[in-house]
Amino acid sequence: MTKPQADTAPSVRQSMAWIHGWLGLIAGWILFAMFLTGTASYFRPEITRWMQPEIDLAQVAPAIAADTAVAHLQKVAPSAEQWFITLPDERTTATRIFIRDRPDPGPNAKPAPRRPEMRLDPKSGEEVTARETRGGEHFYRFHFQLQIPHPWGRWLAGLCAMAMLTAIISGVITHKRIFVDFFTLRWSKGQRSWLDAHNASAVLALPFHAMITYTGLITLVAMYMPWPIAANYKDPATFETAVFGAEPEEEYSGRFIPLTPVAPLVADASREWGGRPATMTVRNPNDATATITLFQSAKDRLNARGGSIVYSGVDGRRLSASPPPGPGAETAGVMLGLHMGNFAGPLLRWTYFFLGLTGTAMVGTGLVLWTVKRKRPNAAPFFGLRLAERLNLGAIACLPAGMAAFLLANRLLPASMPGRADIEVSIMFWTWFGLAAVACLRPIHRAWAETLALAAIAFLALPIVSVLTTTRGLPTSLQKGDWLFISFDLAMIATGALLGFAAWRAAQSAPAPVRQRKQASDAVQPLKEAADAA
Amino acid sequence: MQLEPFLLSYAGFASIALTTQRIRRNIAMPNLPKIGALRIFAAILFSLAASRAVDHFGAEKGWVAFIGMVCLSAVPLVLMISRWPRVGVSAGLGAVIVGLGAMLLNGAG
């Protein structure tokens, strides 16, 4: 008869706790960076606008912006193969255009060289020049590509997101007192406080954490699970056409017919959708086969994948429209929309932002909790613990410093410096990893306080540097009522203050130096002896 | 006012917080309502918050806004309760007054 193993086998809760702890730790450092940069990218266009202070444009209706953009393109590239126009909205004030030139007709001709994207004043159609920068796009791209070449960055981000989803589910199963502890947050109680902070940040915003993780995975599901498409479609492009429809691709005829005015088409599409178009492509402009395709903006609806309408570029006739999305495409579009939050107005965007910060706090407190839990008062930390401590410091304290350095570099590098966009990004990573390396040379408690203080100083320096290097510093913005710049500068001050508070708390919690502790224990000794005697 | 769902949710959570013995003990306020009444009041406040969110943001975005604001409203409450429990719970009363006041004004408007 075999001996029952009930006593020795771990319970479900214990198993889940083990999974939660280890998966959370292994993926945690990357997840922290994904959460923090992803949270920042809810203000992607606003960050870009702050990073290009030279661009200060008035808003105009999309139809006017489309007209002025086409007028500009008619001047600079009337016989291009295709024009891409991104229309401005209340968040991105400039029109963006991209031209694809027609390749030479010869059989061995090289493809036309790629032209850079241009920004236009939507009112006048004149080209706007500003400092080169990746802007908020950098944080957005980083949060799912991790600055690693395609597809490895996305794969790594996906694996971490899968770990996160598992950690969320196992965390809910592990947490015994989920309702009892709902309002519990005890300060200055060591491990207990970290556990409370981890539970509070996780449980209070649990629906958001689950949604953002799951929808993040679904966004790239075709990459992580390509087999259903591969099994049903010989060519993946056929799948795209079946789901999203296809643009007509008529051959260039060479017969000149001037392009029809685009403003009435923009008005027509806006009427049909009950919302504005976001982008427009013009194929074979000024040719008998010209077509104009308008793509619906995701700003008015939860579904991030809007429809499209194709018009004739000759007489403005409506040629076709994208098929109505099936249930699968609609669900995928809504999930993408929920993840990106493009539909959100200012209040909802701030809600997304703060919930994202709660998620960042959840991962950060979880990472710290792992190390605090394993520390023994009178024992030297083992190698794994020391490594985790240093990696925690590198992720939690050094990344914000790197992000501040990215923004500072934008203000301090000469505006006309060639390649400055890449240099800004490099400065972020050099600061992040350089600081993490330097912090390894310092005792861990001091390193926390010092690194957080440095990050705080860097954020607090941003509004000052902005005053000194641009004409859109905080005092001027306040005078002009430039709310984007005012909000940005105030957000930097608030971030600096928060990091400063964290630095102060880290300095407070640092253990007393050995000499002092010895003195303290010397003072306590007679009391202990007296107590023993009693 | 678009913040109504947030304020009403904050007040709803403050009511639920008052149903826990630990917080009732910590704030040590006399004449606290009974736990059952607080639970019913919280349910009413959350229902109103949902209704206002749908009203402001539309049926599609309203539910997202409601869930987002419910999640977010609990964060300042827990932070306040951890340091100044009386202030945190009393702010719930302020939130009810402002939230319901704005709701009535909107209704009248």
Q: Can the peptide bond before residue A513 be classed as cis, meaning omega within 30 degrees of 0?
A: no
Amino acid identity of residue B22, one-letter, is: R
Which residue of A204, A302, A358 is in closest CB contact with B61? Answer: A302
Number of CB pairs, chain A paired with chain B, less than 8 A apart: 68
Q: Phi, psi (5° rounding) for residue A296? A: -70, 145
Best of A168, A179, A192, A347 to disrupt the B interface (most B CBs within 10 Å) is A347
Could you give the CA distance from residue A375 to residue A369 in angstroms, rounded to a whole number? 10
What pTM does this model have?
Answer: 0.92
**Which DSSP string corresponds to A165-201?**
HHHHHHHHHH-TTTTTTTT---SS-THHHHHHHHHHH
Which pairs from B100-104 meet CB under 8 Å and 24+ separation? B100/B8, B100/B48, B102/B1, B102/B3, B102/B4, B102/B7, B103/B4, B103/B8, B103/B48, B103/B52
CB contact under 8 A, B81 and A183: yes
CB contact under 8 A, B61 and A187: no
Could you give the CA distance from residue A120 to residue A130 in angstroms, rounded to a whole number? 11
3-state helix/strand/coil string of B24-44: HHHHCCCCCCCHHHHHHHHHH
Q: What angle do CA A9, A13, A18 make, to 5 degrees?
A: 80
Could you give the CA distance from residue A309 to residue A265 in angstroms, rounded to a whole number? 9
Nearest chain A Cα distance for residue B67, angstroms:
8
Nearest chain A Cα distance for residue B104, angstroms:
21
Residues 6+ apart with CB under 8 A from A382: none
Could you give the CA distance from residue A512 to residue A394 in angstroms, rounded to a whole number? 23
Give residue A514's pLDDT.
Answer: 46
DSSP state of A414: -
Give residue A6's pLDDT.
Answer: 52
CB contact under 8 A, B57 and A208: no
Nearest chain A Cα distance for residue B108, angstroms:
23
Q: Which segments of chain A have a pLDDT < 70?
A: 1-7, 510-534
Could you give the CA distance from residue B64 to residue B41 in angstroms, rounded to a whole number? 23
CB contact under 8 A, A185 and B82: yes
Residues in chain B with CB shorter than 8 Å from the CB of A351 are 6, 65, 68-69, 72
What would the two tokens of residue A55 be?
């661009």
Could you give the CA distance from residue A86 to residue A90 in angstroms, rounded to a whole number? 13
CB contact under 8 A, B72 and A351: yes
CB contact under 8 A, B75 and A183: no
Best of B78, B81, B84 to disrupt the A interface (most A CBs within 10 Å) is B78
What would the two tokens of residue A283 be?
């194929």
Residues in chain A with CB shorter than 8 Å from the CB of B65 are 348, 351
Instruction: Count, in order, helices (H) and strands (E) of chain A.
Output: 20, 8
CB contact under 8 A, B72 and A354: yes
Give residue A24's pLDDT.
Answer: 95
Separation in Å, CA A230 to CA A158, A223, A235, A237, A242: 20, 11, 8, 11, 14
Give residue A378's pLDDT.
Answer: 82
What would the two tokens of residue A369 be?
């909790």
Which residue of B2, B22, B67 is in closest CB contact with A347? Answer: B2
Best of A179, A183, A184, A302 to disrupt the B interface (most B CBs within 10 Å) is A183
Contact B56, B62 (CB under 8 A): yes
Give residue A5's pLDDT.
Answer: 52
Q: Phi, psi (5° rounding) for residue A98? A: -140, 135
Could you give the CA distance from residue B71 to residue A207 in angstroms, rounded to a whole number? 8
Residues in chain B with CB shorter than 8 Å from the CB of A180 are 20
CB contact under 8 A, A301 and B68: no
Residues 6+ apart with CB under 8 A from A375: A381, A385
Nearest chain A Cα distance for residue B15, angstroms:
12
Task: Name which of B66, B68, B78 is nearest A197 in CA terms.
Answer: B78
Closest CA in chain A for residue B63: A302
CB contact under 8 A, A187 and B82: yes
Contact A262, A67 (CB under 8 A): yes
Residues in chain B with CB shorter than 8 Å from the CB of A345 are 2
CB contact under 8 A, A185 and B74: no
Give residue A431's pLDDT.
Answer: 98
ipTM, 2 dp: 0.96
CB contact under 8 A, A208 and B67: yes
- Return the SS3 of A15: helix
Give residue A4's pLDDT.
Answer: 52
DSSP state of A114: P
- Residue A479: enclosing H or E segment and its boundaries? helix A474-480
Best of B22, B46, B64, B86 to disrupt the A interface (most A CBs within 10 Å) is B64
CB contact under 8 A, A205 and B71: yes
Amino acid identity of residue A449, one-letter, is: A
CB contact under 8 A, B78 and A186: no
Taking the domains of chain B in order of start, what are their residue ranges? 4-105
Query: What angle, 0 to 180 degrees and rounded to 10, lies between the N-to-C axes of helices A327-340 and A206-219?
Result: 120
Q: What is the tens place of the pLDDT at every residue in B34-81? A: 999 999 999 999 999 999 999 999 999 999 999 999 999 999 999 999
Instruction: Give per-residue burial for A44-77: e unless 16+ CB within 10 Å, then b.
Output: bbbbbbbbbbebbbeebbbbbbbbbbbebbeeeb
Which residue of A184, A302, A355 is in closest CB contact with B68? Answer: A355
Q: Which residues of A touch B (CB under 8 A)?
A: 180, 182-187, 200-201, 204-208, 301-302, 338, 343-345, 347-348, 351-352, 354-355, 358
Give residue A340's pLDDT.
Answer: 96
- Return the SS3 of A342: coil
Residues in chain A with CB shorter than 8 Å from the CB of B82 are 184-187
CB contact under 8 A, B75 and A205: yes
